[in-house]
A and B are shown apart, each in its own frame.
Chain A
Amino acid sequence: MDERTLVMEFEADFKNVDIARASLQGITADCFGKDTERASDITMAANEAMNNAVEHTGSTTVKVEVAWNDKVLSVFVISDGPPFDPVAAVAELKQEDILERDEGGYGLYLIRELVDRFEYEYRDSHNIWKLFKLTGI
């Protein structure tokens, strides 16, 4: 399969996250076919990354770059704002921390647990969260 891409840019609003998620659900259904669990995993992880961009970065817009081929699906969530490294932040989270929580803070943990690879880059005053899920399994 040749690589395909989709770029979405939207005003930072949860209602727009719903629309972006619906687009992503279409792509993941195409990528993963009957493996609905892996399709759902990356959709949920991307949803959390978009939510974070809307809620915590102060960015007025969110850009989502999706690319997929027969090996991997990648979702880059890009927002303005001061640097925040989610990969480093979630690396410090332990299962015991999550077990003891009775509310809040599940988003980053969900991303870590649901993707195959989670990377971060800060470039040109943009936070870029990079989520990867293998499609060729």
Chain B
Amino acid sequence: MDMKLEMDGEVAVLIPEGNLVASKVESFNSRIEMLVGKDFRFVLLDMSRIDFIDSSGLDAVMMFNKRATGGGGILVCAALKDNVQKVFRVTWADQKIPVAATRSDGLQMMRELRAV
């Protein structure tokens, strides 16, 4: 799975591209490992280029969130397309992971969460 990393201060912004589905989860996980390793604390997952997500993909995001928060970090998901947002809403994932409408909103949310 294609994924870009951009840094915004201390925040790692990950931008995966394509469908986050069962056939791509392994690649998604290994790209994250390669790009941010184990030392990340603050990650914004810019999902604007994710066209489709299934429960395996959602599971991968949930595990990523668990790993981030378990190490005292923060994961924010941003810029979800309507169908991806619906999966988050139906499964209540949006109650467990901070979700922002846009990347800039996500960065603002990250600043606020870090200040708490």
B23–A17 CB distance below 8 A: yes
**Secondary structure of the B contact surface, majority rule:** helix
Q: Tally chain A residues at the interface, Cβ within 8 Å.
A: 29
Contact residues in B for A37 (Cβ distance below 8 Å):
82-83, 86
B59–A104 CB distance below 8 A: yes
Given A40-B83, A51-B54: A106 in contact with B59 (beta carbons within 8 A): yes
B54–A44 CB distance below 8 A: yes
Contact residues in A for B55 (Cβ distance below 8 Å):
48, 51, 105-107, 110
B62–A18 CB distance below 8 A: no
**Secondary structure of the A contact surface, majority rule:** helix
Residue of B21, B23, B56, B90 near A113 (CB, 8 A) is B90
Given A37-B82, A99-B95, A102-B62: A110 in contact with B22 (beta carbons within 8 A): no
Q: Tally chain B residues at the interface, Cβ within 8 Å.
A: 23
Contact residues in A for B56 (Cβ distance below 8 Å):
51
- A sample of 25 cross-chain residue pairs with beta-carbon separation below 8 angstroms, ordered by A number, consists of A15-B23, A17-B23, A36-B82, A37-B83, A40-B82, A41-B86, A44-B52, A44-B87, A47-B21, A47-B54, A48-B54, A55-B22, A95-B92, A98-B91, A99-B92, A99-B95, A102-B65, A103-B59, A104-B59, A105-B55, A107-B54, A107-B55, A110-B90, A110-B91, A114-B90
